[in-house]
């Protein structure tokens, strides 16, 4: 059962104000989206592009039991007097701050072993693998989608049940200090840092700054907990050693010697995924996944590190088959076979230099002896190094010609096509789609940052061919 309580609890815990009627009225679970809440939820009216209070009629119409609103709204007596559900509203100074207070209180009520995952790359996949591996152990919960920010993390905490055995929370950031605050809220038993890469660089001047920001997670780990960090990056390792508190045990995973969990080898099974050989405390075991790419071996290693840190006595051989339930997600190297037999690798959800290189490697691996096309959009949020990084991808592709032909779309990706030939740069999605059809392909990789919306090309291919 998720976070629960009554109107009186909200008033006392959150320094709220409300009418004296219906203090015993209860709620079960929370949501901030009036369209997605379920019967009995507490609706939290957060301020976004529009005031959350505008959605109160929708929230109560969809079954909300109670609602948190901003006090300035509640002080509008004329508004409340005309409001049908005025006795089901609790007013607070700041609904987001109150949301955090509620989730912090609920964190202290639950007994689940909590694992927090952050990193420049792989955190969402690692979270999904962790949830699959932990599912045979017992009941638990994990972050929806990419619910990894100042709203998603408290929501996930409030979604966990008192009797859950485990919880996995994804933690993201754009600025220094964000992870520290989220980690302090979660107080994880295990904190995993999957690695660092030049992603979301517009607010950071170097990878060292990124490493320091990611390692803020270690400072929030509960006393006696474990910090699990990728062993392959010297800057990250140095930052972790400086950041880890004395009360936290630091352990390593990766490909290097000295890792508690070490990726030894990855073997491709074509579109059926990969077999990753992983050494755990000196014993090597195979782990089969349906996810494309050798890079997912590190994600599996990270997840295994999390499992054995949270549940040291677990029998990993009993958990291996659960990995097969983790399927490629839409937009994340998801293979789509079109009616004409051509293959599209839909990787349109996001892009960054290292992730793009790995996707191009997979295109080359699957496309050996076949006609391959890479359809690339801009890699966004790279800051003032964006032009340089796009140009470097073009040079890298010249040295590693995994694509037979290149199509680019966007402002910055033009630098890639200037370096690599044969290629064509276009200015619209329609031109991109038509150029791809005209060129023809047996395998096409479609990859770009979310803001480029290259999923439109994938949809057009799926619908038209």
Q: Tell me the pairing of strands 166-170 and 226-230.
A: unpaired
Residue 83 has a pLDDT of 67
65, 97, 129: which is the final residue of a domain?
97
The reply to whether 130 falls in a domain is: yes
Owning domain of residue 252: 110-325
pLDDT > 70 in the chain, percent: 98
Instruction: Give the tens place of pLDDT for each residue, 342-366.
Output: 999 999 999 999 999 999 999 999 9
Alpha-carbon gap, residue 364 to 382, rounded angstroms: 26
> Do residue 216 and residue 288 come from a single domain?
yes
> Do residue 309 and residue 165 come from a single domain?
yes
> Do residue 69 and residue 205 come from a single domain?
no
Q: How many independent structural domains does the chain possess?
A: 3
| Residue 343, helix vs strand vs coil | strand
> Do residue 269 and residue 412 come from a single domain?
no
Instruction: Give the tens place of pLDDT for each residue, 47-96.
Output: 988 888 889 999 999 999 999 999 877 665 555 555 678 889 999 999 99
Q: Tell me the pairing of strands 334-337 and 343-347.
A: antiparallel
> In the structure, what pLDDT confidence band is assigned to residue 202 with cuts at 50, 70 and 90?
confident
Residue 280 has a pLDDT of 97
102 in Cβ contact with 66 (< 8 Å):
no
63, 97, 131: which is the final residue of a domain?
97
The beta-strand segments (E) located in 173-315 are 190-193, 226-230, 249-254, 261-268, 274-280, 283-289
Phi, psi of 114 (to 5 degrees): -100, 135
> Do residue 386 and residue 460 come from a single domain?
yes
> In the structure, what pLDDT confidence band is assigned to residue 201 with cuts at 50, 70 and 90?
confident
Token pair of 106 as six digits: 């609920």
Alpha-carbon gap, residue 445 to 254, rounded angstroms: 27
Closest residue by Cα to residue 151 from 46, 71, 62: 46
> Do residue 132 and residue 66 come from a single domain?
no
The reply to whether 102 falls in a domain is: no
Say whether pTM exceeds 0.95.
no
> Do residue 319 and residue 344 come from a single domain?
no
Look up residue 400 and give its DSSP letter.
S
97, 130, 152: which is the final residue of a domain?
97
Instruction: Give the tens place of pLDDT for each residue, 264-322.
Output: 999 999 999 999 999 999 999 999 999 999 999 999 999 999 999 999 999 999 999 99
228 in Cβ contact with 188 (< 8 Å):
no
Q: Peptide bond preceding 422: is omega within 30 degrees of 0, i.e. cis?
A: yes
> Do residue 284 and residue 363 come from a single domain?
no
If you average pLDDT over residues 121-125, what whole number do you get? Answer: 95
- We report the CATH number of the domain holding residue 441 as 3.90.190.20
> In the structure, what pLDDT confidence band is assigned to residue 1 with cuts at 50, 70 and 90?
confident
> Do residue 321 and residue 338 come from a single domain?
no
| Residue 135, helix vs strand vs coil | coil
- We report the CATH number of the domain holding residue 17 as 3.40.1390.10
């Amino acid at each position: 059962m998720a976070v629960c309580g009554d109107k009186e609890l909200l008033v006392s815990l959150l320094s709220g104000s409300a009418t004296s009627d219906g203090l015993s009225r209860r709620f079960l679970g929370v949501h901030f989206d009036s369209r997605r809440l379920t019967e009995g939820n507490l609706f939290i009216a957060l301020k976004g592009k529009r005031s959350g209070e505008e959605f109160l009629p929708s929230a109560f119409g969809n079954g909300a039991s109670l609602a948190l609103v901003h006090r300035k709204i509640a002080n509008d007596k004329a508004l409340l007097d005309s409001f049908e559900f005025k006795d089901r509203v609790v007013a607070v100074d700041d609904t987001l701050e109150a949301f955090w207070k509620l989730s912090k209180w609920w964190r202290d009520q639950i007994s689940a072993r909590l694992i927090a995952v952050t990193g420049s790359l792989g955190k969402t996949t690692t979270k999904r693998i962790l949830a699959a591996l932990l599912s045979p152990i017992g009941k638990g919960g994990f972050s929806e989608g990419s619910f990894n920010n100042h709203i998603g993390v408290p929501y996930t905490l409030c979604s966990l049940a008192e009797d859950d055995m485990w919880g996995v929370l994804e933690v993201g950031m754009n600025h220094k200090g964000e992870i520290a605050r989220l980690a302090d809220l979660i107080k994880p038993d295990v904190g995993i840092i999957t690695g660092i890469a030049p992603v979301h660089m517009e607010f950071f001047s170097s990878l060292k700054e990124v490493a320091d920001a990611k390692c803020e997670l270690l400072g929030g780990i509960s006393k006696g907990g474990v910090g699990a960090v990728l062993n392959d990056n010297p800057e990250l390792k140095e930052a972790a050693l400086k950041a880890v508190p004395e009360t936290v045990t630091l352990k390593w995973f990766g490909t290097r010697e000295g890792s508690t969990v070490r990726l030894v080898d990855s073997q491709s099974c074509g579109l059926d995924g990969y077999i990753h050989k992983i050494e755990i405390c000196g014993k090597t075991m195979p782990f089969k996944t349906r996810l494309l790419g050798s890079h997912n071996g590190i994600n599996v290693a990270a997840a295994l590190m999390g499992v054995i840190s949270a549940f040291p006595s677990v029998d990993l051989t009993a958990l291996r088959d659960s990995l097969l339930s983790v399927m490629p997600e839409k937009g994340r190297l998801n293979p789509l076979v079109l009616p004409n037999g051509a293959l599209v690798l839909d990787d349109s959800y996001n892009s960054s230099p290292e992730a793009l290189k790995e996707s191009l490697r997979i295109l080359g691996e699957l496309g050996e002896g076949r006609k391959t096309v890479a359809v690339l959009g801009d890699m966004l949020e790279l800051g003032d190094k964006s032009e340089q990084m796009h140009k470097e991808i073009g040079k890298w592709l010249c040295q590693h010609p995994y694509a037979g032909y290149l199509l680019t779309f966007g402002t910055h990706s033009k630098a890639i096509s200037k370096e690599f030939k044969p290629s064509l740069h276009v200015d619209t999605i329609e031109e991109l789609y038509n150029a791809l059809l005209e060129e023809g392909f047996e395998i096409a990789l479609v990859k770009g940052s979310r803001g480029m919306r290259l999923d439109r090309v994938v949809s057009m291919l799926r619908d038209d061919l």
